[in-house]
Amino acid sequence: MTPERRKYLVVGGLATLLLILDQWTKVLVREHVKPLGYAGMSVIGDVIRFQYVENTGITFGMFRSLPYAQLILSAVAIPVFLLVIHLVRQSPADHYRLHVALGLVGAGIGNLIDRVRLGSVTDFVVADFGFWPVNPWYAFNVADAALVVGAILMAFDSRRPQPAPVPAPAPSQGD
């Protein structure tokens, strides 16, 4: 397999795997956690619990009260997805960290599917560390986590010094 094809496999494969995991966990939550009501269920003591939340905002429930939030967020998601495709196409074949980051960001398509299909995003992971400024933390899902990790990886990758271009060999004189 060529390095060029490998980058598409990494980005597409990771995004697809996370999309499937995201949608599957949301189905499980709607079937098994939603009936439990607001309390949800404990996963790791009082620190991590699953709680069904219909999120009409963006990641971590922000901007829920924004008028036309669903329409705006859906309209923004499409150009972002097209930007991810553009970045993949323009990236060097050996830029593996960027490809992983873009695959993680591409997993956010799961939230767009929820917005279009259900009118809201199903969130369910609630973290309560007991000391965080926002405590408990907003509910989130697999796609949210992938988006955040992908954005962080992209930020770190953008700060990494790029290798200097290799100069072309000088033409030989006298051959």
Beta bridge mates, 126: 49
Catalytic residue among 22, 94, 123, 157: 123
Catalytic residue among 46, 114, 144, 157: 144
Q: How far apart are CA 51 and CA 153, in angstroms?
A: 28
- Mark whether 175 is an active-site residue: no
Q: How far apart are CA 149 and CA 123, in angstroms?
A: 17
Q: How many residues does the chain have?
A: 175
- Mark whether 144 is an active-site residue: yes
Closest CA to 123 of 57, 35, 36: 57
Rg (CA), the chain: 20
DSSP string, 33-87: IGGG-TT-EEEETTTEEEEEEEE-SSGGGTTTTSTTHHHHHHHHHHHHHHHHHHH
No. of helices (H) and no. of strands (E), the chain: 5, 3
Catalytic residues: 123, 144
